[in-house]
Amino acid sequence: MLRWIVQLFFIVAGATLGFIFIPEFIMLINFNAVPEWMGSPYIGALIGAVLLYLVTFWLADYIVNVMKVLEEMIVKAPVTDVISGTIGLVIGLVVAFLIGIPLNSVSFPVISSVVPIFVTFFLGYFGFQVGFKKRDELMSLFPAGRSSAKKKDENESTQAVTEQKIKILDTSVIIDGRIADICQTGFLEGTIVIPEFVLEELQHIADSSDVLKRNRGRRGLDILNKIQKELPVAVEIYEGDFEDIHEVDSKLVKLAKIRGGIVVTNDFNLNKVCDLQGVEVLNINDLANAVKPVVLPGEEMNVQVIKDGKEQNQGVAYLDDGTMIVVEGGRSHIGKTIEVVVTSVLQTSAGRMIFAKPKLMEKAL
């Protein structure tokens, strides 16, 4: 259908151009062998329509493809981006029209005909770019409309006095998988926002030639599918993008600033960047460390020594939650379950590490 519309446009344009210019062209060349009826404007319209119709067989497909790409870009873009870009374009065209009025009265042909076209194109493009890139500031000029929309969404979604902050997931926390269990237990409230640029990064990882990366990417996509379809949480796909920012982490920080949301991650570096930028962040590693059982020096426990440690005569064991226990003098007990006494506990950003020694050694001392 779109191809037919393009062809019809070319036929009408060819007929119009042929009606105006072909008779003048025939009179200009003054070719005597041409019959007199060929100088008719209607014959010229027919010739022009046929010529441009033949051109469409080569040019129509390219035009249709370009129009489909533009349509897809506009459909994917958020409404605020489209509105702000359109407002900037309209303002640019209005300014170009006002500038073109005195230029049209200039007697010099180049200035009166070519310059207004250039000014219209330049100011239209410049106005669109300014409106699109300054969309945040432009939307802030309408506080009444923004606050009313916010209240409407708040009443429809939460029916509460204050709006719950959105939770923005990053790639690492999705691949990790524990976020699905946290959502299922109900500890994570509010709307879960998944940016489209995070989905693109996940898809890129899932299509990787490296087997490990590919499995991690597919696991992340499965986790998102589970959160969206099986868990009782509100999920929003943010379709916007920040073309002037290349790093995904920086885009997450920017989105959190604009939407007033909280970034959910287990990336230590992103955690620090959010702290520096004044953005709220939830690190599920901190949550995991907070809910681990508290172990105090002097407590006794039964552990199975699995392997030797880095230092001499050390052995390594693990609790059920994955906490590593370094057993002094435990190398000789590898493969055995022994009773140990906790000597100290070290808390790091990567987790908790427990140091212990066999209870038999303590009795011997």
Render pLDDT for 329-360 as a digit per residue (tens, 0 to 9): 888 888 888 999 999 888 765 667 889 988 87
Give the contacts of 133 (CB within 8 A, at least 6 positions apart). 244
- Which one is predicted more confidently, 314 or 84? 314
Q: Which CATH superfamily is domain 294-364 in?
A: Nucleic acid-binding proteins (2.40.50.140)
Query: What pLDDT is attached to residue 182?
Result: 86
Collapsing DSSP states into helix, strand and coil, what is residue 282? strand
Residues 128-135, mean pLDDT to the nearest whole number: 74
Alpha-carbon dihedral sign for residues 324, 326, 332, 336: negative
Query: What pLDDT is attached to residue 316?
Result: 92
Range in 29-33, 46-50, 131-135, 293-297 the model is least confident about: 29-33
Query: What pLDDT is attached to residue 188?
Result: 81
Q: Is the pLDDT score of 109 beyond 70?
A: no
Give the contacts of 250 (CB within 8 A, at least 6 positions apart). 242, 273
Query: What pLDDT is attached to residue 351?
Result: 67
Q: To the nearest whole percent, how much of the chain has pLDDT over 90?
A: 4
Q: Provide the residue ranges of all domains of the chain, joining segments of one domain with +.
A: 2-137, 148-289, 294-364
- Which one is predicted more confidently, 72 or 313? 313
CB atoms closer than 10 angstroms to residue 166: 19
The model's pLDDT over 148-164, given as tens digits with 9 standing for 90+, comes to 445 545 555 444 433 46
37: closest CA among 49, 52, 51, 22? Answer: 22
Kind plus residue range of the DSSP H or E element containing 168: strand 167-169
Q: Is the pLDDT score of 209 beyond 50?
A: yes
41-76 vs 2-29: helix crossing angle, rounded to 10? 140
* Single pTM value for the model: 0.46
Give the contacts of 360 (CB within 8 A, at least 6 positions apart). 338, 339
87: closest CA among 119, 129, 116? Answer: 129
- Which one is predicted more confidently, 151 or 269? 269
Q: Is the pLDDT score of 327 beyond 70?
A: yes
What mean pLDDT is reported for the chain? 79
Q: pLDDT band at residue 37, thresholds of 50, 70 and 90?
A: low
- Maximum mean pLDDT: which of 5-9, 67-71, 184-188, 328-332: 328-332
Residues 230-240, mean pLDDT to the nearest whole number: 85
The answer to whether 148-289 and 294-364 have equal CATH topology is no
Range in 58-67, 131-140, 276-285, 348-357 the model is least confident about: 131-140
Q: Domain 148-289 maps to which CATH number in 3.40.50.2300, 3.20.20.70, 3.60.15.10, 3.40.50.1010? A: 3.40.50.1010
Kind plus residue range of the DSSP H or E element containing 213: helix 211-229
| CB contact at 8 A, 283 and 299 | no
Q: Is the pLDDT score of 194 beyond 60?
A: yes
